[in-house]
Amino acid sequence: MNNPLIAAIQTPFQTAPFDQIKLEHFMPAIEYGINEQNEELEQIIANRQPPAFTNTIEALSFSGSRLSFVSSVFFNLNSAETNDEMDTLAQKISPVLTEHNNNILLNQKLFERVKEVWNARNQLELDADQNTLLEKTYLSFVRNGANLRQEEKEKLRDIDARLAKLSLDFGQNALKETNDYELHITRETDLDGLPEAQKEAARETAKEKGKEGWIFTLQYPSFLPFMTYVKNRDLRKKMFVASGRRAYKDNERNNEGIIKELTQLRLKRAQLLGYNSHADFVLERRMAESPEKVNSFLNYLLEKAKPAGEKDVAQVAEFARKTDGLTNLQRWDFNYYSEKLKKEKYEVDDETTKPYFQLENVIDGVFKTAQKLFGITFHERHDIPKYHRDVITYEVKDENDNHLAVFYADFFPRAGKRAGAWMTVYKDQKKENDVDERPHVSNVCNFTKPTASTPSLLTFNEVTTLFHEFGHALHGMLTKGRYPGITGASVLWDFVELPSQLMENWCYEKECLDLFAVHYKTGEKIPADLIAKIKAAGKFNEGYQTVRQVSLGMLDMKWHHVADADALKNTTVAEVEKSAFSPTDLLPAVEGTSMSCQFHHLFQGGYSAGYYSYKWAEVLDADAFEAFAENGIFDTETAQKFKKHILEAGGSEHPAELYKKFRGRDADPDALLRRAGLL
C-alpha cells in the first residue's frame, strides 16, 4: 500500500499523484487492478439472481475503475513524458492488458449473462443511456470473438497480443527517429528569411545541446517555420527529406515490416470474425457504416476540390517562376512560396499575426469563449500534482460555481513527448451510487517555447489547433452521463471531431478575437482590417488542403479496405502509397520518403479505416456553425442546445439522433464545400 497508485489518493479531486509516482509503481498497480477487476467480474458471474441490466451490464461497466485510471496515467505519460525505461515497460504492460481484456471479452460465462440481457432487451424498460450501454457491451463481446469456437478464440488472443506490440513498436520507432534528427547550422546566411524569433529558439536549442550556431529539429515548431521561411532551397529539401524518411530508412527503426504485419493481422482478425476486410469491421460501428460510403464520400470531395487544388498549385508555381525563376516546384518549395504569395494577395502572413497571439492570451481567449458560450470558468490550481513543470492545472467550474472537471494544459515540445496535438482523459466521468465523479481532462500540444526575449507567439494555424483540442476537452469536461465508456468523447469515431472542429470557427470571428488578440508589446487590439484579411486568407489554398486530407483518407482505405491477404503480403509500402496518391497528387512525389511509416493515426492512434472522419466531421461542423452564424456566434439559445445535445450527451445515443436534436434536421453535406468556397 506504499504504492501511490494503489493506496487511497489524497490529492485534490483524487487527481493522479504525479509527484509520488515512480516507474516501478506501474506494473504492481496494473497487476493489482487486474486482480481487483477479476474479483468484481467473478461476483457478477456468481450472482444467483437472473441476469439483469443492473446486476450485469451496469455492474460490468463500473468494474475495473482502478485499472482504467492506472492504465490511463501510464499510457498518457508514455505519449507526453516518456523515456527509454518507460518505453521498455510499455512493451511489458501492453500485452498484459491485452490478455486481460481478452480474458473478459472471451469469458463464456460472463458473455452468457450479457447475452441473456441482450435477448430480453425488448421487454426491458431502458432509457437512452441504458440502451446504448447494453448495445455497446453486447457488441464489444461479439466483435471480439465471443461467438467463436475455442480454437478461433485462441487465434484471436494471439493476434491481439501481437497487434498491441506492433502498434507500440511503430510509435516508438517514429518518436525516436524524430528525436534523433538535428540540422546544425553554423552560418547565419543559411537562415536568410527566417524570422528572428525562430532563430533565437534554434540558437537556444543549440546551447542546450552544447553547440554553437543554430539547431533545427523535426518537431513541428522547429520544422514548419524552417520550411516556410528559409530561403536556402537545398536546406529546405534536406529538412523535407529527413522528415519524410522517418522510420523509412534501412535501420532497426524501419516501420515498413511493422505496417505490413499490422495490416495483414488486422485483415486476418476481421475475417476470423466474419467480415470481408478490416474496414468493413471498423465501419460497422461508425456513422459512415461501410467502406463503400467512405470511398463515395472521399471521391465526391475529390471531384469538387481537385480542380481548385490544381489551380492553387498552378498559382504558387507561377508565383515561384515570376519571383525566383523557379520552373520545377517541389514539395519542399510549396510552403515557402505559398506563404509569400499569401502575403502578397492578402497582406497577411504568420509574422504579421503572431505578435497578437501570445500563448497566455490565447489560453485566456479560449476560456472566455467557453464562458460566453457555456457558462464555465477556469481557475488555476497550484496544489494539483503535475508530471512536468510546463504543465498548468485548472479547476473547471460551472455557471453556479460547482466543480465540473480538472483540466491539464501541456503546450511545449520536449524529447519525451510525441509530435502533434491531442486531448486525452485521465479519469472518465460517471455516476455511481448517486455520486457524480467528474472527469480529469488534458490537452497536449507542441507550440514554440518562449525565449529569453520573446514570449510564446502562436501562428494562426496554432491558434486554431489550440481551439480545436479545447473543443475535444469541452466534450470531455461538460459530459453528464452515467456510464464510463459512453460519456464525454466516447462517441462513434466519425462524430468525435465535431466539437473540436466546430471550435475552430470562432478563431475567424472579430467578436471572438477581440476577447484576446492584443499585440504583446503595445497592448493594441488586433485591427479589424487584419481580421478581415485573416478571414479572407482562410480560404487560401483550400482546394489543395482538401485534396491533401482526402489523399490521407484514401491511403488509409488502401491499407484497410483489402480482402486479399496475399495482396497485402506481396505489396510494398511504396506501391500502396503510389496507388493511393496517384489520383490526388498535385506535386511530384519524392523518392525515398513515406507517409505511412510515420502515420501515427493509422498504425498507433486508433484511426485505422477512420481517417476520413476529419472531413466527415467537417461537414457536421460547417453545418453546425451555420446555426451560430445565423443567430450570432455567442447566441445563448444555440450554445445551450449544442451543450445539451452534443457536449453533455456524450455517446448516450446514436450521433445522428443527437445531431438532429441540436439542428432540427440532418447535416447538409454541401455546408463544408460552401465554407471552403468550393461550390
> Which positions are annotated as active-site residues?
469
DSSP string, 617-642: HHHHHHHHHHHHHHH-TT-HHHHHHH
SS3 392: strand
| Cβ pair 593, 244 in contact under 8 A | yes
HSE, CB side, 13 Å, CA atoms: give it for residue 454.
18
DSSP code of residue 431: E
Q: Rounded to whole angstroms, how far apart are CA atoms 493 and 415?
A: 30
SS3 430: strand
SS3 103: helix
Q: Rounded to whole angstroms, how far apart are CA atoms 326 and 304?
A: 29
Our measurement of the distance from residue 264's CA atom to the centroid of its chain's CA atoms, rounded to an integer in Å, reads 25
| Cβ pair 67, 26 in contact under 8 A | no
DSSP code of residue 390: T
Write the CB contacts of 253 (distance below 8 Å, at least 6 apart in sequence). Answer: 173, 176, 177, 247
C-alpha cell at 300: 465526391
User: CA 322 → CA 310, 318, 327, 341, 586, distances in Å?
Assistant: 18, 6, 9, 11, 20
Q: Rounded to whole angstroms, how far apart are CA atoms 454 and 331?
A: 31
DSSP code of residue 148: S
User: CB neighbours (10 Å) of residue 484?
Assistant: 24
Phi, psi of 37 (to 5 degrees): -70, -35
User: CB neighbours (10 Å) of residue 383?
Assistant: 9
Phi, psi of 404 (to 5 degrees): -115, -40
C-alpha cell at 360: 497566455
| Cβ pair 70, 34 in contact under 8 A | no
Residue with cell 515490416: 257
DSSP code of residue 419: S
| Cβ pair 35, 63 in contact under 8 A | no
Task: State the amino acid at position 303 in one-letter form.
Answer: E
| Cβ pair 477, 439 in contact under 8 A | yes
Q: In the chain, how long is the greatest CA-to-CA distance?
A: 83
Q: Rounded to whole angstroms, how far apart are CA atoms 555 and 171?
A: 18
Q: Name the β-bridge partners of 464.
A: none
DSSP string, 80-102: HS--HHHHHHHHHHHHHHHHHHH
Residue with cell 485499472: 67
User: CA 535 → CA 23, 530, 540, 619, distances in Å?
Assistant: 48, 9, 10, 19
User: CB neighbours (10 Å) of residue 665?
Assistant: 9
